[in-house]
Structure 1
Amino acid sequence: MSKTSDTATGIAPITSTERFGELDILRGFALLAVFVVHFVGASFYDLPLEESLSESWNADVLQRGAVFLSDWWFENKGNTLFATLFGMGFWVMMERLEARGSDFQRIYLRRLTALFLIGLVHLFLLFPMDVLHEYALLGFALFFMRKLSAPAMLVLGLVLAFVGQPLGDFLAGELVTGERAESRWQEVFAGGSYAEWVAWWPGWHLYLEIERGGLLGWALYILGRFLLGAWIIRMGFVARARELLPLMRRICLVALPLGLVLELVSLLQWMELLPKTDWSDTALHEIGGPILALGYATGLILLYHSNWRGWVAQLAPVGRTALSAYVGHGVAWTFLFFPMGLGMQGRLTPAASMLVALGLFAAFTLAAKFWLARYRYGPLEYLWRWATYGSRPKFRLQPAAA
């Protein structure tokens, strides 16, 4: 299909002038959280670590402090914001394409298919913690749930957002029996070649996510946030953001401190520094995480509509190129920690990993600003739009008239 026919029928991509600036800011902040959690986590608990080294870092105030701050401020807040933003983007796209008389179903399903393929490449060749393919699969579920009434969407979204993860994990635990030894994972990680890892990883991933049921809790967790994001746009809350600033201020003043306190207590219970029951730390985290993410979101929107707008607007360029930045951070993560790259696992401390994450995020932020001064979209965003709309969109910006 030619670009001319797309434009004539109203199936042109959404332009930068149609964007909600608030969503770009939130997406940029979510990226920051993901960078920190992934890099600090890789140094401490996501990858194999010698027990003596783990104990040493646990006893070090600086190293334990880096892990503590990452868990308290960012763990599950970045992915909560990202998943909510995905649902918001879905509803924005649906409303705009249907208003133009375009075939939303064909365009959006093609968009999800393209994202799924990008995610598979990222997962099996570049970054073993990819979520893009899972977002795409759950995007199909969101698509088929779009006819839910607004109240049903809100209620189901809230239920899944708060109890979806523990419910899914419980069901997976009841349905799945037996385990494979993790020794092979440790062998491949410790000294395997890239080719060996690529050949072995798909089977292990399918075991963890499908056979062991690991995807079930995560899927319900994410789908709930998708639904809440779609509901937020459906109710016009972002389009009326300036009008709703007083309400957002009240929400922020409650959600931000409450979320911080709940997450702090949960973390201290998990560290066995406060008394707990078998489930209290998990329950507090499942409640406190989304509340703190809401506090972050409303706080950033308030700053965006204040005299601080210039500061928070620095997050917008990397938010507009979030797909490229996310894949880029995954490549950097694998190269830094895996033996086929620098093999820094066990040598890079959690505190150093946090500095690397912050530095890498700053570099992507500057690169995005430089890139968008010359191009309309990030490199992967451009390819994704091309696949979505079936025609090649304009890439370069027109030079300003003299």
Structure 2
Amino acid sequence: MSNSTANPVNVKARIAELDVLRGFALFGVILGNFSEFYLFGIASTADQMATSSYAAWDPYVAFVITLFVSGKANTLFAFLFGLGFYLQMDRLSARGDNFNQIYLRRLTVLLGFSLINIFFISIWEILLVYALTGYILFAMRDVSNRVLVGLGIPLSLFGMLAIGGIFQLFGVRESLDSDWYFTDAAIIERQALAADWGYKNLIAHFYGFTMRDWILGGSMVGFIFYALGRFMIGMWVGRKGWLLNPDQWLDGFKRWLIIVLPLGLGLDIVAYFMPEFSGSDLIQKALQVVATPLTAAGYICLIVLGLRSRFWVRILPVFAPVGRMALTNYVLGGIMLMLYYYGPFGLYQAGKVGLSKPMLFVVFSYAFLVLYSHIWLRYFVYGPLEWGWRALTYGKRPSFRRMSNRKTN
């Protein structure tokens, strides 16, 4: 069959577990993005955070975010991208469609979306990493399971640290002066630009931030290797069929849950409370690197089993519509972040808050995204950006409004 007859995957073919996992992961990604503006000193100086309301709660909230969210959400999100890659390859090939052409167009469209997002909405934009890493995964689509696991695990664990070490060894960040963007002077400059409604100048500031720290400074390169490892593990799990036919593997999910989740959380707790001594930073990072994928795997087991629980099966599906509109909701989350901290027409909280208040804002914002997604999908087949992504990928306009609503209108 020629690619001119190719059509998007039918909505009915979607797997419920993956939509719930994707929606759950997106909540963590948005929480993590907001928390990084506190943890990395982006929005407020240390003195400003110390005098902010609820400052006494910030260390406790930081512990909760570090333990349950940091690294785990983007691990889960990247894993699902790799799993989704396998699913699309399997389904398109089974239908006789030209997977190679379709998926390369899909990645190119995502790359276009990501460039708009990274330079006009959100710094440290993950979609750009996913698009670029997707090309690498595409080139590896026919490698064996042994290669996927044998290369995916070390890349997941050490890829980012290794690249960061190489860039540091050659003094790249120092030559770019990228660390300046984390200083009090840079923080105050961002606040001043936002206060003067200089959003154009603020975007220019973040453009420099993105180029020097994220792209040229090596952070994005490290994250590409980090993401590639997770993509490869996701593709391997897709081949094994564990999440495509989870009912056949429930005993395995139960066994792994009682191993990986307590172990992952336990290692993170040890790392968090480790006293300082010579070499403690390296040990702490090593513990966190191992803990992160273990905890993320535990979340997968929890959700798969929860969807077969009489109680949780009534609650967890609330995440599914958010997961079906993951691209739209991710971009909306980035817009909310910038509006919350810097405006324009936002709350302009940069310099006024620590960590606790932004986390409350995220909870209410995510509740809005849940409601918005549920209502939207009552009337439309796809989210707005998802529809555009499919239309540009396939070169045709897929159905947008649901048939029942067409008839009534």
Q: Relative to 1, partners in 2 of residues 1:301 and 1:128: Cα closer, same or farther, differing over 3 Å?
A: same
Q: Which moved more, 1:85-94 or 1:233-242?
A: 233-242
The Cα shift of 1:346 comes to 2.3
1:40/1:66 contact within 8 Å kept: no
Question: Which residue is equivalent to 1:72?
Answer: 67
Matched, 1:38 2:39: no
Q: Which moved more, 1:334-343 or 1:309-318?
A: 334-343
* Partner AA of 1:190 in structure 2: Q
- Deviation string for 1:122-175 (max 9, x for gaps)? 111111232111110110010001121111111111111111121111112113
Q: Which moved more, 1:105-114 or 1:43-52?
A: 43-52
The Cα shift of 1:55 comes to 4.3
2:53/2:353 contact within 8 Å kept: no
2:49/2:55 contact within 8 Å kept: no
Q: Which moved more, 1:165-174 or 1:373-382?
A: 165-174
Q: Which moved more, 1:307-316 or 1:325-334?
A: 307-316
Matched, 1:204 2:199: no
Q: How does 1:113-152 map to 2 (within 5 A)?
A: 113-152=108-147
- Residue 242 of structure 1 aligns to a residue whose secondary structure is helix
- Deviation string for 1:67-90 (max 9, x for gaps)? 111111100111000000000111
Matched, 1:321 2:316: no
The Cα shift of 1:275 comes to 9.3
The Cα shift of 1:48 comes to 4.4
Q: Distance in 1 between matches of 2:40 and 2:52?
A: 11
1:336/1:343 contact within 8 Å kept: yes
Q: Distance in 2 between matches of 1:319 and 1:174?
A: 40
Q: Distance in 2 between matches of 1:332 and 1:200?
A: 19
1:88/1:231 contact within 8 Å kept: yes
Q: Relative to 1, partners in 2 of residues 1:325 and 1:59: Cα closer, same or farther, differing over 3 Å?
A: closer
- Residue 195 of structure 1 aligns to a residue whose secondary structure is helix
- Residue 379 of structure 2 aligns to a residue whose secondary structure is coil
Question: Which residue is equivalent to 2:336?
Answer: 332
Q: Which runs of 5+ in 2 are unaligned?
A: none
The match for 1:300 among 290, 299, 303 is 303
Question: Which residue is equivalent to 1:287?
Answer: 290
* Partner AA of 2:333 in structure 1: H
Q: How does 1:224-263 map to 2 (within 5 A)?
A: 224-263=229-268
The match for 1:381 among 350, 374, 386 is 386
- The normalised TM-score by structure 2 is 0.91
Q: Which moved more, 1:175-184 or 1:145-154?
A: 175-184
The Cα shift of 1:201 comes to 3.1
Q: Relative to 1, partners in 2 of residues 1:55 and 1:273: Cα closer, same or farther, differing over 3 Å?
A: farther
The Cα shift of 1:56 comes to 5.0
Matched, 1:309 2:309: no
The Cα shift of 1:62 comes to 1.5
Q: Distance in 1 between matches of 2:265 and 2:52?
A: 24
Q: Distance in 2 between matches of 1:356 and 1:293?
A: 24
The Cα shift of 1:15 comes to 1.4
2:191/2:351 contact within 8 Å kept: no
* Partner AA of 1:211 in structure 2: L
Q: Relative to 1, partners in 2 of residues 1:16 and 1:81: Cα closer, same or farther, differing over 3 Å?
A: same
Q: Relative to 1, partners in 2 of residues 1:275 and 1:25: Cα closer, same or farther, differing over 3 Å?
A: farther
The match for 1:14 among 9, 14, 34 is 9
The Cα shift of 1:53 comes to 3.1
Matched, 1:191 2:192: yes
2:54/2:356 contact within 8 Å kept: no
The Cα shift of 1:216 comes to 2.3
Q: Relative to 1, partners in 2 of residues 1:218 and 1:317: Cα closer, same or farther, differing over 3 Å?
A: same
The Cα shift of 1:65 comes to 1.0
- The normalised TM-score by structure 1 is 0.92
Q: Distance in 2 between matches of 1:305 and 1:391?
A: 38
The Cα shift of 1:263 comes to 1.1
Q: Distance in 1 between matches of 2:347 and 2:375?
A: 28
Aligned residues with identical type, % of pairs: 32
1:169/1:214 contact within 8 Å kept: yes
The Cα shift of 1:120 comes to 1.0
Aligned pair count reads 394
Q: Relative to 1, partners in 2 of residues 1:164 and 1:61: Cα closer, same or farther, differing over 3 Å?
A: same
2:48/2:353 contact within 8 Å kept: no
* Partner AA of 1:89 in structure 2: G
1:157/1:223 contact within 8 Å kept: yes
- Residue 368 of structure 2 aligns to a residue whose secondary structure is helix
- Residue 402 of structure 2 aligns to a residue whose secondary structure is coil
2:156/2:225 contact within 8 Å kept: yes
Q: Distance in 2 between matches of 1:217 and 1:273?
A: 26
- Residue 255 of structure 1 aligns to a residue whose secondary structure is helix
Q: Distance in 1 between matches of 2:313 and 2:47?
A: 47
* Partner AA of 2:328 in structure 1: S
* Partner AA of 1:21 in structure 2: A
